[in-house]
Structure formats: structure tokens, C-alpha cells
């Protein structure tokens, strides 16, 4: 039913836990495709031994190229992006599929809902600490509680776990490699979907995953994703998320273009000024 893409970079214990959770907690036997950046930690050998389909590069090429390489091997209509530091919870796949199959066409981007141990001010996330690592994970408690943790469907889906139809993945050209290693790549994919006519960005509360927040970004030299996004699209990520995606508000159906409110006009003026000043060699701290 799904092709699940998991890019990974020498993170074998979490990758193993992620794949095991998919096998245990999915209602269907989904296609799993890894992209192995480097793989010298044993993840390449493990994928071969497990018979898991994968793409591979000898060095870390970042999220964007990794996703595109893995997606080229996909055989199913629905493509899911899952981080390797997530474990899926029972019902995660059926909840996403039920929403996808209710749509009148394939113009949608869905996200599951993350449970995270630390608060980051993200209204789309359930904050509940069941462990910050595999070693401290209280799995029995998590499995007993996860479905009863309160949260409603939300607007603004764009980050993993995401589900998109393969037709739309191909239409917008996958992830933008100019944003490698990947800062702003999720929002860039969403705005490409918007530009192509998609208006359903549905966060599904019943599809739940536990996210350890074990970021690989501390090991890489980050791209200036905010600056690149502004230069490419003429608005900041925060403006797109707030006024177009209405991220974190209650889901109430397909989105519409932003109202021409004073706040929106001022936000667009701010974007214009930031872009102009950036061109004049006076880079600012982008949103």
C-alpha cells in the first residue's frame, strides 16, 4: 500500500528500531526503501542481510538527494517519508490511508502527528516524555497511552511522517537538491505542492509516531535554508507557514489563498525588504 522512504546516516540502532516498529505496528506489509549515507557503521551490511531495498552513496549527500535516490526505486502509488529516529505506533498507516482514500483526487500532502519528549513550541506536536533515547524508552507505557493523548487534526502538513501521491512527487520534482543538506527542504516541498495547485495539507492526529529528536544536523555544515527559501520564493518560511498553510490551526478542509489583511500585507512587505537588503549584501537573520 505504501512505499516508505527512510534516509539514514550511520544511525544503525535507531534505524533498526524504526524498521522493526513498521513491521510490528503496520496493518499492511509496506515497501521499505532506505537511502544509506555512508553506511560504514554496519547499516549497509544490515540492510543487505535484511533484504531491504536501498540506495547508497559512499558519503553523506543530505536529505534531498537521499530522498530522490530512494524515491526512484518506489513501486507504490503512495510515498511516505519517515525519519530514522522515529518509531511508528499501531494504527499509524491505516489512519493516513483512510484520509488519503477519502480525497476526491491525489492533490494532497498528509502528515502524521509526532509525539516528542521535549517541548519546542510546535502546536502540531504532542509533548509527552516516554524517553529521550532508545535506552530510556518506556515502550510499554507509550503503547498503553499513545492513542489517548489529546490532539486534533491540524493544518499545515509538511514534515515527516508525510504521505504524498507518487504523481505529485514526480510533478514537483521531489526534494530540491539546491537545498542540500536539507535545511528548509520540507517547507520547500510544501510550497512546490502549493504552487502546483495542492490545497490539502492535512495533519492527521490519529496517525502517531514517537520522535526521539536525535538530530543529525549537529554533524553537518548546514545550508542557509531560510535565506535560500526567501531568495527562491520571495517570502520567508514563517510567512508561508502562518498565512498560507495556517500551520497548527484546526483542520477545516482545503486551504484558500491568504486574506489581504493588514498583518499579511505587512509580512509580505517585510519579506520584500529582507530580500532587497540581502541582494545589497546586507544579509539579515531570516525567519
| Contact present, 162 and 202 (Cβ < 8 Å) | no
Neighbours of 10 (CB within 10 A): 17
- Is 255 within a domain? no
Give the pLDDT confidence score for residue 287 in this predicted structure: 42
Taking only the tens place, the pLDDT of each residue in 116-139 is 999 999 999 999 999 999 999 999
CATH label of the domain that carries residue 222: 3.90.550.10
Taking only the tens place, the pLDDT of each residue in 134-187 is 999 999 999 999 999 999 999 999 999 999 999 999 999 999 999 999 999 999
Grade residue 1 by pLDDT with cuts at 50, 70 and 90: confident
Q: Tell me 243's DSSP state.
A: I
Taking only the tens place, the pLDDT of each residue in 188-233 is 999 999 999 999 999 999 999 999 987 666 678 899 999 999 999 9
- Is 25 within a domain? yes
Domain encompassing residue 82? 2-244
Give the pLDDT confidence score for residue 42 in this predicted structure: 97
Taking only the tens place, the pLDDT of each residue in 17-62 is 999 999 999 999 999 999 999 999 999 999 999 999 999 999 999 9
- Is 64 within a domain? yes
Give the DSSP letter string of 153-198.
-EE---SSSEEEEHHHHHHHTSS-GGGTT-TTHHHHHHHHHHHTT-
- Is 285 within a domain? no
Grade residue 286 by pLDDT with cuts at 50, 70 and 90: very low
Cα separation, 121 vs 123, in Å, equals 6
- Tell me the C-alpha to C-alpha distance, in Å, between residue 88 and each of 21, 28, 113, 149, 232: 6, 13, 10, 15, 34
C-alpha cell at 109: 500532502
Taking only the tens place, the pLDDT of each residue in 67-90 is 999 999 999 999 999 999 999 999
Give the pLDDT confidence score for residue 282 in this predicted structure: 45
How many domains are contained in the chain? Answer: 1
Is a pLDDT exceeding 50 seen at residue 285?
A: no
- Is 93 within a domain? yes
Grade residue 277 by pLDDT with cuts at 50, 70 and 90: confident
Give the pLDDT confidence score for residue 279 in this predicted structure: 59
Cα separation, 255 vs 261, in Å, equals 16
- Is 276 within a domain? no
- Is 211 within a domain? yes
- Is 280 within a domain? no
Amino acid at each position: 500500500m505504501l512505499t516508505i522512504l527512510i534516509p539514514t546516516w550511520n544511525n544503525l540502532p535507531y534505524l533498526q528500531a524504526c524498521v522493526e516498529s513498521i513491521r510490528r505496528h503496520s496493518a499492511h506489509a509496506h515497501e521499505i526503501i532506505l537511502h544509506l549515507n555512508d553506511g560504514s557503521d554496519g547499516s549497509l551490511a544490515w540492510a543487505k542481510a535484511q533484504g531491504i531495498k536501498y540506495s547508497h552513496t559512499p558519503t553523506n549527500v543530505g536529505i534531498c538527494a537521499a530522498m530522490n535516490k530512494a524515491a526512484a526505486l518506489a513501486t507504490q502509488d503512495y510515498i511516505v517519508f519517515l525519519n530514522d529516529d522515529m518509531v511508528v505506533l499501531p494504527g499509524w498507516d491505516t489512519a493516513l490511508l483512510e484520509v488519503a482514500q477519502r480525497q476526491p483526487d491525489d492533490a494532497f500532502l498528509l502528515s502524521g502527528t509526532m509525539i516528542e519528549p521535549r517541548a519546542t513550541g510546535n502546536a502540531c506536536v504532542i509533548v509527552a516524555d516516554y524517553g529521550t533515547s532508545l535506552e530510556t524508552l518506556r515502550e510499554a507505557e507509550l503503547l498503553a497511552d499513545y492513542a489517548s493523548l489529546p490532539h486534533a487534526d491540524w493544518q499545515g502538513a509538511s514534515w515527516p511522517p508525510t504521505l504524498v501521491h507518487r504523481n505529485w512527487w514526480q510533478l514537483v520534482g521531489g526534494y530540491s537538491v539546491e537545498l542540500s543538506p536539507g535545511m528548509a527542504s520540507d517547507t520547500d516541498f510544501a510550497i512546490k505542492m502549493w504552487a502546483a495547485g495542492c490545497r490539502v495539507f492535512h495533519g492527521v492526529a490519529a496517525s502517531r509516531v514517537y520522535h526521539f529528536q536525535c538530530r543529525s544536523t549537529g554533524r553537518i555544515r548546514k545550508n542557509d535554508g531560510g535565506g535560500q527559501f526567501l531568495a527562491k520564493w520571495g517570502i520567508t518560511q514563517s510567512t508561508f507557514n502562518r498565512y498560507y498553510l495556517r500551520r497548527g490551526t484546526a483542520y477545516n478542509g482545503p486551504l484558500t489563498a491568504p486574506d489581504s489583511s493588514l498583518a499579511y500585507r505587512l509580512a509580505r512587505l517585510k519579506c520584500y525588504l529582507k530580500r532587497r537588503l540581502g541582494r545589497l549584501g546586507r544579509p539579515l537573520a531570516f525567519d
